[in-house]
Amino acid sequence: MNGLYIALGIIVIIAIAVIALYNGLIKLKNRVDEAWSDIDVQLKRRYDLIPNLVETVKGYAAHEKETLEKVITARNAAMSAHSAGDAKAQGEAENALSGTLKSIFALAENYPDLKANQNFLELQRELSDTENKIQAARRFYNGNVRDFNTKIQTFPNNIIAGWLKFSERKFFEIEDEVEKQKVDVKF
């Protein structure tokens, strides 16, 4: 009879441990999903700002059509990657979009009237603020992915996580080697 109580006690302890592990994994999974949602919110804001920025620039730099078309193409590619839900493809498309946005701000240097335009300055400020928020959201997402992946990779969690079909998440990272290079600033 004592053996039965001991076996029952061990089963209860194992069940409690599995439940606690499962709840911990769900909590981390939800944090990763929330962090991804934060990135989505900021990307949506950026997608909404870009057409306004392009229209403002068009008025001043009509003959810079190729640069403006590249920005719109990159925006559309980023939105498509966003819809697909593939973190790696979305990261690549977002990095390409960031690169083309830099070309618009470089255009402003050639057009003093554009640089002084209040709409352009406000849009530039909002876009810069949004870019900073996107970077913060990416860091938050990557931190949560790190915690989640660590939890499902460590023993004995990896056994239970595999059994419960939890899988690793991908980091939101820069794939373009050029963007990883150190920038030399010379005056």
- Local mean pLDDT, 10-residue blocks, the chain (187 residues): 88 91 93 90 85 75 71 84 76 82 75 69 82 89 94 90 90 62 40
pTM across the whole model? 0.67
pLDDT tens digits for range 31-48:
999 998 888 888 888 888
Q: Which domains does the chain have, with CATH numbers?
A: 2-170 (1.20.1440.20)
pLDDT tens digits for range 64-92:
677 777 888 888 888 888 777 777 777 78
Output the CA angle 34-162-83, nearest 5 degrees.
35
pLDDT at 62: 63
pLDDT at 114: 65
156 prior amide bond cis, ω within 30:
yes
pLDDT at 31: 94
pLDDT at 92: 81
Q: Residue 62 class from Cβ within 10 Å (0-12 exposed, 13-18 middle, 19+ buried)?
A: exposed
